[in-house]
Chain A
Amino acid sequence: MEQIYSSTPDSCKLVSASEESVRFLLDYSKSLSIVSSRGMTFESNLN
């Protein structure tokens, strides 16, 4: 009979991204600057 059940017992485990990941995203967002000029869009990361 075809195996129809998941073999991984903790597939419903609740996990969250770490503080570092969230901090990275917030810093990335702050550093990302988008400028449009003459129909062109330029992205730059300002550290």
Chain B
Amino acid sequence: MYLQADDSTLVKAYIQGDERALETLINRHNQRLSSFIYSKVFDREITEDIFQDTFIKVIRTLKLGKYNEEGKFYPWVMRIAHNLVVDHFRKSNRMPRYESGPEFDIFTIMQENSLNAEKQLIKDQIESDIRDLMTQLPEDQQLVLRMRMYQDMSFKEIAENTGVSINTALGRMRYALINLRKLIEQHQIVLTN
């Protein structure tokens, strides 16, 4: 009965005590999450350990009522797994090491990713502009865009949730982007940072 349900429905059901919802969630994300972990550690046993630790954290957080990222279950689980992979490398001291020298400058591989105050303001303005523009799109295109960009859902998941075929979901996304570009041109908005 849960196979068709989306993640947020399953999370709610699990929080309300339905253990079968957890089984569906684990089985649904098993391969994707395990493959992600394996692609970092290249070891089946460590992959199993990190997979288990990830879901132990998930279970504890959900049971403690601390989960508040509704609609974004899988990205949240991925972040937990990613942090555990980093912890694993820290513990086992297997992080790649670089030493600065006359022929090699450490700053060639380090990047400052955080935005300064001005760039952060511009980023916030751009995001706000896009949200405003999105409200001018037809409802079905807005829905696909929100699910894809803000909820990180696959087109298969979008199709299942909106009751249309994958091709229709893809088409709506395409037209949403085309229309957004038209609106940007019409309003002469500059979306660069």
Instruction: From known contacts A22-B27, A25-B26, A26-B26, infer whether A17 and B52 are also in contact, taking CB-CB under 8 Å.
Output: yes
Is the pair B34, A26 in contact by a Cβ cutoff of 8 Å?
no
A41 on interface, CB distance cutoff 8 Å: yes
A29 on interface, CB distance cutoff 8 Å: yes
CA distance A37 to B30 in the complex (A): 35
Contact digits for A9-25, partner B, Cβ 8 Å, 1 yes 0 no: 01111111110011011
A47 on interface, CB distance cutoff 8 Å: no
- Kindly identify which residue among A10, A22, A43 contacts B26, using a CB–CB cutoff of 8 Å: A22
B61 to chain A, nearest CB (A): 11
Is the pair B39, A11 in contact by a Cβ cutoff of 8 Å?
yes
Residues of A within 8 A of B30 (CB): 16-17, 22
CA distance A35 to B86 in the complex (A): 32
Residues of B within 8 A of A43 (CB): 60
Is the pair A15, B34 in contact by a Cβ cutoff of 8 Å?
yes
Residues of B within 8 A of A22 (CB): 23, 26-27, 30
B interface residues, Cβ below 8 angstroms from A = 19, 22-23, 26-27, 30-31, 33-35, 38-39, 42, 44, 47-48, 51-52, 55-56, 59-60, 63-64
